[in-house]
Amino acid sequence: MTHHPTHEESTARELAAALRREAHEAPTGPAPVEAVVRAGRARRARRRAAAGGAVLAVLAVPALLSAWPASPGPARPAPAASAPSPPAPVPRLHTVAPHEPVPVAGGLRLALLPEGRQNYVLTSPGSFAAALESARSEHMGTSIRPRGISGGHASSAADGIHRVHGAWRLPEPPDRIELTAGGHTVEADLYTLPGEPGWGVYVVDTRSLPRFTSYTVTAYDATGRPFDTLEAGS
């Protein structure tokens, strides 16, 4: 079995070899034991210092690399701001149930009746029930010509005309119905019953307009072409 010398044994052998070399080289006289021991210790210290310096140098390289500032890469462009979505258009066509009291401008109630022809009620909440019952029993309404509109308005001496309403008759709902007065144009709200009744009601709240006493109502079909015009007022 091979014997591997320990660190202490190696050190002792190196010291003995050094003593022999110094003994051969020294002049005749007592052997300079202390000087030889000091020289051996100095050589071992130099070897340990050299080995430690190499380790420190190796350890210093990663530290130096980590401290070195990284080269900046290409600048990333800032994300483009998305354009705000346009506001959704306000729906103007409303499908309502028969006899349903629908709130409209001015705090009034509107109801469309399947009884009669182009039959509807537009009145205050307090008189709604009586007006609805009368319209149902008498089959009120106005038979207007195909592709036509009817019209009426409410007014006061102080405010002039403040509401315009009427019925439209068309196989499909109109694209829009507009009121023009004093150079201003307002689009009407449209109401119809479920299915394809072929008629409906329009209501225009004109309180936001300057005072006027005459107006024009123009109705446009689904293709955007006018199908009837009504002029009213003084």
pLDDT of residue 141: 72
> What percent of the chain is predicted at pLDDT more than 70?
61
Q: Is residue 18 within 8 Å of residue 39, measured between CB atoms? A: yes
Question: CATH fold of 93-233, please?
Answer: Immunoglobulin-like (2.60.40)
Q: What is the spatial distance between Cα 108 and Cα 102, in angstroms, rounded to a whole number?
A: 8
The whole-number average pLDDT for the span 4-30 is: 55
Domain assignments of the chain as residue spans, ordered by start: 9-24+32-57, 93-233
pLDDT of residue 188: 97
pLDDT of residue 86: 53
* pLDDT category of residue 18 using cuts at 50, 70 and 90: low
pLDDT of residue 157: 83
pLDDT of residue 116: 85
pTM for this prediction: 0.62
Closest CA to 218 of 202, 229, 203, 206: 229
Mean pLDDT of the chain: 78
Report pLDDT digits (tens) over 55-93.
444 444 444 344 444 455 556 666 566 666 555 455 689
Tokens of 60: 């210093």
Report pLDDT digits (tens) over 98-132.
999 999 988 999 999 999 889 999 999 999 999 99
Q: Is residue 120 within 8 Å of residue 136, measured between CB atoms? A: no
* pLDDT category of residue 173 using cuts at 50, 70 and 90: very high
Whether 37 shows a pLDDT value over 60: the answer reads no
Closest CA to 165 of 232, 95, 223: 232
